[in-house]
């Protein structure tokens, strides 16, 4: 019994010491948390590729996943206003250079980092999307449309928005398919928002008269836009629709557009 009691006492003392050590460590470290060090320095495209042993796709994908979870560490979520957007813009450019065909980085930039409410940060996103969207490959033009949207509604920079809208409307995709009607209409919408109703009207009328492949729903929308948003009389709108239905000559178009 004596030996057993001594052993039991040693175990009890050991457990008490362990509890005391754990409590001491908790008291010392309870205020310590994992802290985000900010957006990391930006490598060149060549350096990033070398870091992946020359595998550009591995470098691109690992960099994209890093940006996707950047700032969300240790159970903490970093507000967008605390990101260094100048560095983020450089990261976007480097990664896009590694894989120009991918939409992963433009998607993150537009729909995640583009949610920021800080104007100078939104400008970084607009500038990046304007570059990647100015490509006829695939459907990259959609990023140009998003850039125009951000410029208009987040930056309230109508001059930048109309510039991007005109660039969008002039794009001819490599697959030969025309841009959707709404993309080609964007300059008219922004011109109207600028107070340039007559310029907007001319663009809408020109599309209505010359674009023969439009869906009836698009035709109805454009007719309603002329009447409801631009103040064109119903008689004038009906005349345009009749001209469209009867087949158009260049003389007829010029007469209507005068």
Question: What span, in angstroms and rounded, lies between the C-alpha atoms of 115 and 106?
Answer: 13
- pLDDT in single tens digits along all 258 residues of the chain: 455 566 666 677 778 888 888 887 777 766 666 666 788 889 888 888 888 888 889 999 999 998 988 888 767 788 999 999 999 999 999 999 999 999 999 999 999 999 999 999 999 999 999 999 988 777 899 999 999 999 999 999 999 999 999 999 999 888 778 889 999 999 999 999 999 999 999 999 999 988 888 899 999 999 999 999 999 999 999 999 988 888 655 455 555 555
Question: What span, in angstroms and rounded, lies between the C-alpha atoms of 145 and 168?
Answer: 7
Domain boundaries of the chain, sorted by first residue: 40-108, 196-258
- What is residue 92's predicted lDDT score, i.e. its pLDDT? 96
- What is residue 73's predicted lDDT score, i.e. its pLDDT? 73
Question: What span, in angstroms and rounded, lies between the C-alpha atoms of 12 and 10?
Answer: 5
- What is residue 19's predicted lDDT score, i.e. its pLDDT? 83
**Number of neighbouring beta carbons within 10 Å of residue 42:** 18
Residue identified by tokens 């500038």 is 127
- What is residue 113's predicted lDDT score, i.e. its pLDDT? 96
- What is residue 122's predicted lDDT score, i.e. its pLDDT? 97
Q: Could you give the C-alpha distances from 43 to 92, 94, 132, 133, 171, in angstroms and in order?
A: 11, 8, 19, 23, 32
- What is residue 71's predicted lDDT score, i.e. its pLDDT? 82
Q: Token digits for 141?
A: 């033009």
Which residues, at least 6 apart from 90, have a Cβ–Cβ distance to it below 8 Å? 42
């Amino acid at each position: 019994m004596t030996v057993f009691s001594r052993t039991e006492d040693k175990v009890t003392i050991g457990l008490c010491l362990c509890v005391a050590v754990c409590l001491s460590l908790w008291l010392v470290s309870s205020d310590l948390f994992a802290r985000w060090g900010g957006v990391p320095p930006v490598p060149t495209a060549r350096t990033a590729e070398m870091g992946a042993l020359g595998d550009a796709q591995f470098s691109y994908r690992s960099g994209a996943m890093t940006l996707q979870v950047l700032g969300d560490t240790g159970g903490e979520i970093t507000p967008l206003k605390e990101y260094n957007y100048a560095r983020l813009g450089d990261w976007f450019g480097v990664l896009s250079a590694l894989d120009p065909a991918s939409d992963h980085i433009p998607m993150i930039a537009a729909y995640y980092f583009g949610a920021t409410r800080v104007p100078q940060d939104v400008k970084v996103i607009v500038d990046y999307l304007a570059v990647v969207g100015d490509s006829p490959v695939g459907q990259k033009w959609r990023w140009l449309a998003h850039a125009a949207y951000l410029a208009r509604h987040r930056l309230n920079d109508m001059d930048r928005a109309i510039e991007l809208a005109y660039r969008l409307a002039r794009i001819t995709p490599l697959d030969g398919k025309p841009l959707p009607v709404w993309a080609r209409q964007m300059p008219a919408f922004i011109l109207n928002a600028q107070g340039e109703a007559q310029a907007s009207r001319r663009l809408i009328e020109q599309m209505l008269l010359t674009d023969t492949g439009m869906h009836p729903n698009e035709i109805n929308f454009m007719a309603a836009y002329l009447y409801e948003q631009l103040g064109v009389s119903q008689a004038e709108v009906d005349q345009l629709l009749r001209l469209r239905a009867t087949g158009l000559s260049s003389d007829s178009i010029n007469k209507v557009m005068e």
